[in-house]
């Protein structure tokens, strides 16, 4: 049975539960409430959450007031360690929203710490953000449910953009070059069945562990 390492907030649990119910062959290990042996995991799912703690960023924070008040250094420490473990073993990685930002920073990138026009209430649960996609994009969607106040500035090493917000070019999807499966999206595929193929692709690639 493949083991999946992740950190999922209580507010997101219902959305992910619906996805995992379609894949009973996968055992999910949520590091928020249990100890996770990273060396025995077959894949890594990085999910949405509060802003990355300043101590983990690769840039100065001129105005700390733009950051979320509920940053979680414990979670950040676990996720950055998990990314390095997964990369060292070539494990499949899917990163969502904050997860995309963690993935980018872990690979040496930086963030735009506060942007406007990408965190509107109607964007959170409706597919209203038009995208333009690269010709070689692994998954293509015309519109997505993207709501966030931070975004990628400088890309991390070996990351390639697959999709941008159509109106201002904010990065919405990227992948890690020359890697079995390393996909990161700024939108929230767990909130709509429109994106089931993305999860099917990711979960089918999990490595089988011996736990």
Q: What is the pLDDT of residues 4-13, one digit of tens each?
A: 999 999 999 9
Position 209 in a domain: no
Give the CATH number of the domain where residue 139 resides.
3.40.50.880
Residue 89 has pLDDT above 70, yes or no: yes
Active-site residue identified among 79, 162, 172, 188: 188
Domain count, the chain: 1
**188 tagged catalytic:** yes
Of 79, 162, 172, 190, which residue is the catalytic one? 190
211 within some domain: no
pLDDT tens by residue, 157-170? 999 999 999 988 99
The share of the chain scoring above pLDDT 70, in percent, equals 98
In this structure, is residue 174 part of a structural domain?
Answer: yes
Nearest-angstrom CA–CA distance, 55 and 73? 8
Whether residue 23 is contained in a domain is answered as yes
- Is residue 142 part of the annotated active site? The answer reads no
pTM passes above 0.85: yes
Domain with 127, as residue range(s), is: 3-204
Asked if residue 210 belongs to a domain, the reply is no
- Give Cα 14 distance to the centre of its chain: 17
Give strand pairing partners of 174. Answer: 161, 184
Q: Which residue has the higher pLDDT, 120 or 157?
A: 157
Q: How many CB atoms lie within 10 A of CB 190?
A: 23
Instruction: Respond yes or no: is residue 125 known to be catalytic.
Output: no
Which is the catalytic residue, given 97, 118, 148, 162? 97
């Amino acid at each position: 049975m493949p083991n999946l390492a992740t950190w999922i907030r209580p507010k997101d649990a219902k959305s992910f539960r619906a996805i995992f119910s379609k894949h009973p062959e996968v055992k999910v290990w949520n590091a928020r409430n249990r100890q996770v042996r990273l060396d025995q995991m077959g894949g890594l799912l990085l999910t949405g959450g509060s802003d990355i703690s300043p101590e983990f960023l690769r840039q100065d924070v001129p105005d700390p007031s733009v950051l979320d008040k509920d940053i979680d250094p414990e979670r950040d420490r676990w996720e950055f360690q998990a990314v390095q473990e997964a990369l060292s073993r070539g494990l499949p990685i899917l990163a969502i929203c904050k997860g995309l930002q963690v993935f980018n920073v872990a690979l040496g990138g930086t963030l735009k710490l506060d942007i406007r026009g990408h965190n509107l209430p109607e964007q959170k649960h409706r597919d209203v953000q038009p995208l333009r996609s690269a010709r070689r994009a692994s998954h293509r969607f015309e519109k997505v449910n993207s709501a966030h106040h931070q975004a990628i500035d400088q890309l991390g090493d070996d990351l390639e953009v697959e999709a941008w917000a159509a109106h201002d070019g904010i990065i919405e999807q990227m992948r890690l070059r020359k890697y079995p499966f390393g996909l990161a999206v700024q939108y929230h595929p767990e909130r709509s069945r429109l994106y089931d193929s993305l999860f099917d692709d990711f979960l089918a690639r999990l490595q089988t562990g011996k736990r």
